[in-house]
Copies of this chain bind each other. A is one copy, B any other.
Amino acid sequence: MDKTGFTHLLPNKDSCHDCFKKEQCLAKQLTISDVEGLSALISKNIKYRCGDYIYRQGDTSENIFIVKSGATKSLINSVEGNELVIGFHFAGEVLGFDAIDTNIHASSVLALDNSIICGFSRQLLDRLCTTDATFQKELIARFSHEIVRDYQLLILINKKTAEQRVAIFLLELLVRMGSSRGQVIHLNLVMSRADIASYLGLVPETVSRVLSKFERMGMLVVKKKKLQIVNDQLLVKYSNNQPLQKLPEPNAMEGNAIPLALLY
């Protein structure tokens, strides 16, 4: 409510050369040298608070954005008014590809957490495109990557059960958070159940039920937005829709975790 669009734009005092995310930057070469002073066209380190919009559907596109820290979600408002979450974005990921064609954003993006985001002006984009073949390839590669990602999301929503969707979602988060596998992993969900549900084509109640079931199965421990992944192998099996045996009824286990040995 009180947070709508409130942002702090810091002066460009930080050089790209010192950026702690320069390895993943769209324009890596600017981080090596900046002979033409192009990095002045970058609005660095814009801080957003949880709930702030980075841009809104329908806005004129001024920048491409790169998430340096924090997390965001992107969503579309359909004509009926309900909103659909189409993605979550973490450090190193690029925002704003949906507006390059029409110059108008087809989706909104807002911060799920306090986030630092780097703004990359359209002017700079055009300039680098024409002068810098490396940048160009990188840009096109990211476009292509985005399309492939959308394809996967389509499969996810089209053909998977609720349990598969949640399992896949969690595994995907594990990968993107860079966690190592095969041990107890703490996963901090920055998004709400409603966000997850919308993203997966479900309702919040269903997401909640599935997480509860996974907890009863001994796959994970749910504590609000903190998850402990106890058995990611089982999660993988569920993501492939291969539950190993008939599941116990909720009331049959009284909320206790099943001995893992029983499941193999």
Where the two chains meet, the residues of A that have a C-beta atom closer than 8 Å to any C-beta of B are: 76, 78-80, 82, 84, 86, 97-102, 106-107, 129-130, 133, 136, 139-148, 150-151, 153-155, 157-159, 198, 201, 240-241
Residues of B within 8 A of A133 (CB): 129-130
Q: Are B100 and A141 in contact (CB under 8 A)?
A: yes
Count of chain copies: 2
Pick from B78, B99, B147, B155: contact of A155, CB under 8 Å: B78
Report Cα–Cα, A97/B97, bound state, in Å: 15
Q: List 14 A-B contacts (CB under 8 A).
A: A98-B144, A100-B140, A100-B141, A100-B143, A101-B141, A101-B143, A102-B148, A106-B148, A106-B151, A129-B140, A150-B151, A154-B157, A157-B201, A158-B201
Residues of B within 8 A of A102 (CB): 144, 148
Q: Are A158 and B101 in contact (CB under 8 A)?
A: no
Residues of B within 8 A of A155 (CB): 76, 78, 84
Residues of B within 8 A of A140 (CB): 100-101, 129, 139-140, 143
